[in-house]
Each structure stands twice: as structure tokens, then as C-alpha cells.
Structure 1
């Protein structure tokens, strides 16, 4: 991915990125998404390395900043959620604890993982999800890219859940969720009401990835993933199909008046 030269200039910009506060010296470019860049920086005030998430162009990180403040108020950093330090520049710059490597790359390096290693990671993620449920927050974007190993040399199995940019409060479940396809819960595919249970589904997909080093449901569309899910778990019960908004998109009635999955490609949603 390359790296940036260390600098403390208050006016530094990278392709439309907001100015970096002067206190941070850039060490390394860590990653990039559609709305933000993540940099490894040295904080000259605290004398610690930190991860700085930096908004691009017109984007702001206000929602994530507010969510992280809420989680830190409830001490979720003590339950395997990434520690949030502070925000700058009208929520265009968020500062987190520095971790080592994401779980996706860790699996690539270490596969096959031992059962005890998988169990330890899943237990920590379950602790994080239990904490989130208590404060009525749904992460909604759990995947191996959003799980960090704190330090693979000194603490190889300590992990933190990151990226709460799509998180929502459990009383906001009327919102549409754009969950990663490989980790997408079937209730979202079918248009059924959802809850924090969708994070548990994603957790199961993460566990499968750790065990097999492959995606459990590797479809290129919602329909294909529904086919994979049906192959593994069996057909959806009729009462669920009756309740879903997209029943006739993915299913048809059999001669015995039961819902069966269509076997022809349908428009991707």
C-alpha cells in the first residue's frame, strides 16, 4: 500500500483529505476506504503511536465519532472494542489505539489455526457483542477486516473490534443496512425485521473463515448467497418466507403449495 513520509505540517493534504492536526507525525499509510484513510501516526503530545482515521473530501466521521464516545462512556474498550482517544477537525479526524494486523491477514499468515486459537478469538468477539447488546448497539459490519490483532508478537490472540461507521442503536432498525455480502445475514437478504442477531450471523461466518480459510457463502449476489445458505442449512421455513418482503423475488410456490427457492438467476438487490 505504500507509505507517507513522516511530517508534522498542519496543512498536509492527500487527494482531498482534510488537514492533519499538527501534533501528529505520519509514520505509515495503513489502509483506505471510500470515505476515509487510516494512518499510523506518532502523537507528539502523548508520545504514543496511534491509528488516525482521516475523512476524505466532503465526508465527515461525525456518526462514528459520536458512536465511539458513547461506547467509551460505557467502557466498551474493556470488552474487546477498539479504544477511542478523541476526535479533531469537526470530526474529520478520529484517533484510536494502534493495533498490529487485521484478522484477515493474520489468518493468511497463520493458517491452519489451532482450535484453541479460534476459540479464544471467538470468545473475545462474543464478549464484545455481549457488551454492545447491553448498551443496545448493533455493529452491522463484522468481518475479518474489521477485527484487529493487538500485537501478534507479544499478545498474539488479543483482538479488538473496529470500524463503527455503520453501527446503529437497536431502536434504529428501520434503517437499511449495506452489510458485506459474504457476512450478510439472511434476514437482510429477505427483507425481514433484524436485530443484533445479524452480528451473531456475521460472527459465525468469521469463525468459518478462521477454520477453513475460505468464505462460507461466496456468492456474487444476494440470490447466490441465499442458494449457498440453503445448501448448507436447508430450505427456509414457510412462515419466514410468508413474512419476508422479497418472498416472490427469490421463491415460488410448489405444487404442494410450499415455498421453494427459485433456480434461475434473478435481479441482484
Structure 2
């Protein structure tokens, strides 16, 4: 992505230059079509919080998309802060804006983003951050065995923009079997149980937890280990839900329990001792969050309900008390 000046309009723009590979160019053209649909429904990007596409053009064989200029991604901001997490007040605003945007995309456009992650959420303002203290510094230092003092910054504004709609899927379109970047993927996707817009809600639960702790909620690259990490943090999968897994997934990841129902084939199916240890070290959700932030832990637990039929929609999640309360930092 290049920062350029539009000489005709005399304004700065961000130009996303696509590699001159047919597959990438085709995907970018699909994204441009999706962004045009979004712009039709939401001309100023206020409801969808989407970075506005201004134009497209071809340059030396490269397909290019022109966007309004935004700030850095939430991932890059985390990284610059040594992965120390955001202030709770900022997380509340990120959550409210994201869920409001998803509510509009899901209901008005019947579209699932399918690739939500901190890299695909930008700060709206391209402005230098402000120096601040980090309220959870002592806990962070203790956990990371660090005594160094690094400067901590807060965004000047918690307004955000969603980007990367290239994999967005309409309700009536073919739903590919695998969606999401691994760490933000819901259990229904891993177990091939079919997914819908509520997979975006699961992703948001993982993202918001990461913005709080500075770490991936589920740090893994393997399906069974991923499911085991989920159970360790969120409790056992309902046997009724597991019984709906496809035959192939069932054979790979599940086994019978003593009552004849289904359960995860863990730790028997672990690929290594280190994998088993990794899951053993995973904390339950309630232990990752101090009691003063209990409303936040409850909110995340609601977004991360295993069975998608019991998971709240993005609009329903907006009613949670976490978004209404003023919490201590």
C-alpha cells in the first residue's frame, strides 16, 4: 500500500497495488465489486466503518485500488507498544463500532466478512499517538518477566475502519469450507458444521481478547490442539453440538465418551508432548481477566459461545452491559 497524492483532487490517498498474478488480480476485482456494493448501501462508510474505496485503475499490468487514508492497523499499534494491550475504554469503543458495523453488514447486506483480525482493523485517524501510561503495566511485567520500561502510547482517537473485504461472502453465495485466519476461526468451521455471519462474532471475541492481553487467545496451527485450547478456556463442547460434526471431522478429532456421546479426542490425539503442555498452560477465560473487568470477561464469553445457534448476533451483542458500563482501567 502506497501513500500517494491525487493531483486532480489535491488530496492524499492510499493506493493498494496488487501483484501482477492473475489469481491476485481476480480477487482484487471481486473486492472492488464488494466495496462498490458497500458504498451503495453506505455512501460515507459511517455504518459499515469500511475504508472508502475512491477509484480503481490499471498501472503497468497491476490492478490498483485507491482508498481514503487511514491510520495503522490495531495489530501494528499493539506491536509498537510491545504487545501490551489497549486501554479498556478504547477496547469498549473498538467493540461497539465493530459490532455495529457487522450488524449492518450482516443484516442490510447479508454479508459475512470472514477475515476479521487486528491486521484488518485500522485506526481511522492517520495521526501521531499520544504518550500515556499503561494501567496494567505491573501485571504485564510480572507475566513477561520484564523490568524494562518502554514508552506506551494511546491512539488520539479510538475510531476505526474495517478493511480487506476480498473474502467477504454473501448469504446466498457458495460458502467455502475454510474461512478466517486460523487463530480467529470458529469451532463450526474446524468441525465442518457449516458457518454463517456468526463466525464474524466469534472472530470479534478472539480479537477483543487479544487487544486486551496483547496475545493471541488461541495460539496454534493445528486443528485438534485449537479445539482443545478452546475447551480449556471456555469449558467442554456440548456433546449434542459435537454429534453434528461431519464424519471426516468426527474421525479426526472426536471419540466416544462413556455415555456413548461425543467428546474431543484429547489428550490421546495430541501430536506431541509440547502440544499437550501448551494446552495444559492455557488459562480459563475467567483467569485471564481480573475481577474488576468481570463484565468484559462475561462479554467475551458470550461472543465465544461454541454453538453458533446460541451465539448472539452482532446487533444483540451491542446490548451487553460491558458496552454500557464505565469500567476501571
Provide the TM-score with structure 2 as the length reference: 0.66
Q: What is the match of residue 120 of structure 1? A: 93
* Contact 2:187 2:227 (8 Å CA) reproduced: yes
Please give the alpha-carbon distance, in whole angstroms, between the structure 2 residues aligned to 1:55 and 1:101: 19
How many Å separate the matches in 2 of 1:168 and 1:115?
31
Q: How far 1:177 moved relative to its partner? A: 3.2
Is contact 2:113–2:169 with CA below 8 Å preserved after alignment?
Answer: yes
- Matching residue of 1:81: 50
* In the alignment, structure 1 residue 192 sits paired with structure 2 residue 193: yes
**SS of structure 2 residue aligned to 1:203:** helix
Cα 1:192–1:91 shift into 2, 3 Å: farther
Which structure shows the bigger proportion of residues in strand conformation?
Answer: 1
Any gaps of 5 or more consecutive residues in structure 1? 1-37
For 2:278, the equivalent position in structure 1 comes to none
The root-mean-square deviation of aligned C-alpha atoms, in Å, is 1.8
Is the counterpart of residue 149 in structure 1 residue 123 in structure 2?
Answer: yes
Q: Which residue matches 1:247?
A: 250
Q: Which has the higher contact order (CA 8 A, sep 6+)?
A: 2
Q: Distance in 1 between matches of 2:252 and 2:13?
A: 47
Which segments of 5 or more consecutive residues in structure 2 lack a partner in the other structure?
A: 130-155, 272-329
Match of 1:18 in 2: none
Whole-angstrom CA distance in 1 between matches of 2:234 and 2:100: 26
| Structure 1 position 49 matched with structure 2 position 32 | no
- Contact 2:177/2:192 (CA < 8 Å) preserved in 1? no
8 Å contact from structure 1 (residues 138, 195) kept in 2: yes
8 Å Cα contact 1:150-1:159 kept in structure 2: yes
- TM-score (norm. length: structure 1): 0.80
Partner of 2:260: 257
| C-alpha displacement of 1:91 | 8.6
Judging by fraction of residues, say which structure has more helix. 2
